[in-house]
Structure 1
Amino acid sequence: MTTITVDAFTASADGTRIAYDLTGPTLGLAPVIVVVDGVLAHRLPVTLAVAAELGDRATTLRYDRRGRGGSGDTPPYSVDREVDDIAALLDVTGPAALLGISSGAFLALRAAADLGDGVTGVLCYEPTYDIASGEPPTDPRMIAGVENCIEAGDPGSAVELFLDVVGMPCRLLPRMRESPSWADLEEIAPTIAYDGRVLAGVALGRRALMGRWNVITQPVVVADGAASAASVAVAAESLAAVLPAARRVTLPGHGTDVPPRAMADAVAALLRTAGVP
């Protein structure tokens, strides 16, 4: 029988409070999967549905990345601190696999590189960057542009800027602004730049992933959706090609429309590959 624990907390290395919930068997009775959300997301209903589909096969930990939901935020931001947040969660669960979604896939891979045996495997779902493209990993507007909007006290413009970066048609903005979720997007708008820095860290900086793929020896599944844009499949292929122990899968649907059972089955397969019963 699955159980849900809401509003549990742990502390990261810098003292930041990290909020999380657990779904599934009591810790220690099943393997663990930690969900690492992408930009502007935290503890989405679809990941709770995936956790329910996993049932007794795994315990699912969903958490609010720093600056989102029930978690705190301690400046200055760094990707290292986000890895520390995952390490703090692994102190709670013991070694666990990671499900990284969109830009969260690259944070999950960074954690796998930095935390070694603490991360037993990674499922990267719809990673957002084509490793082989030769293009910059992130649009500079996603960092400097967003940060300028936040400093000006205009989080709504930061969200609009990000939506423009990802190609959302302008005609849809009025409907987005009227949606019940807009206030939440504005609240976590500063974290858009955090994901920008996660993506930039794929190729830039002293611990860039581009020069460290070989240290990610854990099993990795790189997944996309059958109905996703062709560019998503290209990005997934490019990522799988550079990882030592990666395999590619394609799930039905696309984005958050992938059936939770299909995602749960992909998670369970990763746990088996990682040698977790």
Structure 2
Amino acid sequence: MSITTVDAFTTSADGTRIAYDLTGPGRGLAPAIVVVDGVLAHRLPITLAVASKLGDRATTLRYDRRGRGGSGDTPPYSVDREVDDIAALLEVTGPAALLGISSGAFLALRAAADLGACVTGVLCYEPTYDVASGEPPTDPRMIAGVEACVEAGDPGSAVELFLDAVGMPCRLVPLMRASPSWANLEAIAPTIAYDGRILANVALGHRALMGRWDLITQPVLVVDGSASAATVAAAAESLAAVLPAARRITLPGHGTDVPPEAMAEAVAGFLRTAGAP
């Protein structure tokens, strides 16, 4: 079967245009999976490679989260609006699994809780927050500090603030600033605070995800790599422990930079266990 990638747009409930691409056989011809990127990422080359490796085993939809790439944005921001974006994408694919990467794992889980049977399962790759730690779910700088920099017209400082908050050694920041990708990071700097709010809403607010774990009855696979930091393994372990239908695997020898082949096999295996709609 010939595998092609098609670029298109859909419209979210608030009128925001969401850009996406679709790779694979198409709706109804294979299980579908929607890639939910983490902070400062949108339609990375690695996820396109994963889609290619999946081939005709899955229809893979990758999209630009609002405020990134080809997607629009409509203020004010709310996590509910990002869930609406996923709901609009599921109108394209039909019921589908979600692949949530890093902080995107918690947006994917929120969508699973809110959208029910439209989400057939969630694969969480290296979620960023240890839900059993008792620590605040996000550094305050990731929201208030970033928003202050953006409002001051200084997206570069917003990116630097985020990198410091996640522990990036300061000596590496000038190298990142000199890289061709820095302009892209500045362009989507306002969305750093969006991920901050997603993480904050895991534990805070009247609809905190921690109080709604029991609503996520779909199959969940929590994946980490053996080459990743111990904190990543702790976060994966804690998340798998609280979800009703979760299991956990570790990819030997891999970490954040998992090869597309290994990720594709993990996704294909998960889709088989989650079942096609």
Which TM-score tier does this pair reach, normalised by the shorter chain? over 0.9
Tell me the equivalent position of 1:232: 232
After superposition, where does 1:172-251 map in structure 2 within 5 Å? Answer: 172-251=172-251
In structure 2, distance between residues paired with 1:88 and 1:122: 17
CA-to-aligned-CA distance 1:42-100 (integer Å, 9 cap, x gap): 00000011111101100100000000000000000000000000000001111000000
In structure 2, distance between residues paired with 1:142 and 1:200: 10
In structure 1, distance between residues paired with 2:206 and 2:85: 20
CA-to-aligned-CA distance 1:115-148 (integer Å, 9 cap, x gap): 0000000000000000000001000000000000
Equivalent residue letter for 2:58: A
Tell me the equivalent position of 2:4: 3
Tell me the equivalent position of 1:94: 94
Equivalent residue letter for 1:19: A
CA-to-aligned-CA distance 1:12-36 (integer Å, 9 cap, x gap): 0000000000111122211110000
SS at match of 1:133: coil
SS at match of 2:224: strand
CA-to-aligned-CA distance 1:184-235 (integer Å, 9 cap, x gap): 0000000000000000000011211100001100000000011000100000
The CA deviation at 1:274 is: 1.3
Equivalent residue letter for 1:150: V
**What fraction of aligned residue pairs are identical, expressed as a percent?**
84
Equivalent residue letter for 2:118: G
Equivalent residue letter for 2:134: G
The CA deviation at 1:174 is: 0.8
SS at match of 1:72: coil
Equivalent residue letter for 1:69: G
Tell me the equivalent position of 1:271: 271
Q: How many corresponding residue pairs?
A: 275
Q: TM-score, normalised by structure 2?
A: 0.98
Q: TM-score, normalised by structure 1?
A: 0.98
In structure 2, distance between residues paired with 1:58 and 1:194: 29
Tell me the equivalent position of 1:58: 58
SS at match of 2:28: coil
SS at match of 1:20: strand
In structure 2, distance between residues paired with 1:269 and 1:276: 12
Tell me the equivalent position of 1:40: 40
Q: Which runs of 5+ in 1 are unaligned?
A: none
After superposition, where does 1:144-159 map in structure 2 within 5 Å? Answer: 144-159=144-159
Q: Which runs of 5+ in 2 are unaligned?
A: none
Tell me the equivalent position of 1:108: 108
The CA deviation at 1:159 is: 0.0
In structure 1, distance between residues paired with 2:193 and 2:89: 23
The CA deviation at 1:151 is: 0.6
SS at match of 2:162: helix
More moved, 79-88 vs 23-32: 23-32
Equivalent residue letter for 1:201: N
